[in-house]
Amino acid sequence: MSATREQGKRRDENYIRILSSAEAFGFGPCSKLTCIVGKLKDAFPGSRVDFLGEGSAISFAFQNNHLFNTITEYDGVYPDANEFDLVLSVMNPYAILWGWFNHKECIYVDSLYWFWKFEEGSFKKMESTIEQLTNANSIDEVWAIVKDVSGHNLHYIAHRLSTISCSQYFNSTKTETDIFRRNISNIVEVNPIIDLSYKKKAEKDTILISLGGLLSPLNREKEALSYIRLVLKMMEGFISEASKRYKIVLATSAEIARSVQGVSTRIFPWWPYPKRKCSKRSTGLFWCSPRQA
């Protein structure tokens, strides 16, 4: 059964009312969203872009609040669907489900498109779930249908339901990835989305050493602290020499920052990132993991 829902037409093609959202998993998804919203604002001046999110995503949105008309913390309730023409989501599949159910055009941006893995036979099950969704009579029914769907499968469903699916490929996985997504016909390949506005000239007085959030289900405090000790040992000579000229700032999660003892450099929490204390424009050197680069 087709997953297409009839979409209403906008009153003015040059004025778009957008509900935007991003997955609350670090700053990555929302940083991509702010890049896109900035370009949309340039292309469609005066259009309305509201943000709905939680956790680290809304924290980053507040740091870029000039891009959004409103910023609302998600509390289990979505706004009035009649107020929007389009849903723009970076890796938040629930926003796409809401937009699709309410007959909105939906754009799904996924930088980990190449990463999702599926068990054999899972596509048939997911297509059955999509068929159930097409017969849902309320948004509550939609949530009930997907409540037990795993994260990777939810991303697949979001791709299937979106009007446009913007998917970032990675290295040589393109062929394999396309085989996995054989049922998705609306994919647009995109390159990594990076905000270049921070390349503007400014006095460079800071070296930012980003350790990332570090904590995850596979990486606990013991491993995180071992990693920090290794990084500091590797960079001991560099930090000693560079600190004579630059302010050295280490960034990590609040939980890990509280656990680090005896570090002479300044450490501040990675979530939320205190932009007022360390502007990217003033950073002369940014040391980070390959993933953050």
- Residues 204, 175: one domain? no
Could you tell me the pLDDT band of residue 213, with boundaries at 50, 70 and 90? low
- Residues 81, 205: one domain? no
- 208 beta partners: 249, 286
- Residues 207, 91: one domain? no
Token couple for 100: 């699709």
How many Å separate Cα 31 from the centre of its chain?
A: 6
Pairing of strands 105-110, 247-252: unpaired
Q: Is residue 116 part of a domain?
A: yes
Pairing of strands 206-210, 105-110: unpaired
- Is the pLDDT at 216 greater than 90? The verdict is no
- Residues 222, 83: one domain? no
Q: What is the CATH number of the domain that holds 42?
A: 3.40.50.11120
Q: Is residue 5 part of a domain?
A: no
Q: How many CB atoms lie within 10 A of CB 247?
A: 17
Most confident of 3-7, 10-14, 160-164, 211-215: 160-164
Q: Is residue 2 part of a domain?
A: no
Task: Give this prediction's pTM.
Answer: 0.72
- Is the link from the previous residue into 272 a cis peptide, with omega within 30 of 0? yes
Cβ partners under 8 Å of residue 209, min gap 6: 231, 235, 248, 249, 250, 251, 265, 287, 288
> Which one of 127, 162, 190 terminates a domain?
190
Span 80-95, pLDDT tens digits: 999 999 999 999 999 9
- Is the pLDDT at 22 greater than 90? The verdict is yes
How many Å separate Cα 35 from the centre of its chain?
A: 11
pLDDT at 1: 39
- Residues 64, 162: one domain? yes
- Residues 175, 207: one domain? no
Sign of the alpha-carbon torsion through 279, 283, 288, 290:
positive
Q: Are 23 and 91 in contact (CB under 8 A)?
A: yes
* Domain total in the chain: 2
How many Å separate Cα 14 from the centre of its chain?
A: 26
**Residue among 204, 203, 223, 202 at smallest CA distance from 212:** 223
| Inter-CA distances, 273 with 89, 103, 154, Å | 22, 36, 28
- Residues 218, 262: one domain? yes
- Residues 184, 44: one domain? yes
- Residues 28, 162: one domain? yes
DSSP 160-198: HH-SEEEEE--TT-HHHHHHHTTT---EEEE------GG
**Residue among 249, 241, 258 at smallest CA distance from 204:** 249
pLDDT at 283: 59
Question: Kindly report the CA angle at 286 between 115 and 58, in degrees rounded to 5?
Answer: 60
Domain coverage including residue 115: 17-190
Q: Is residue 69 part of a domain?
A: yes
Across 144-153, 180-189, 210-219, least confident range: 210-219
- Residues 180, 42: one domain? yes
**172-180 average pLDDT score:** 56
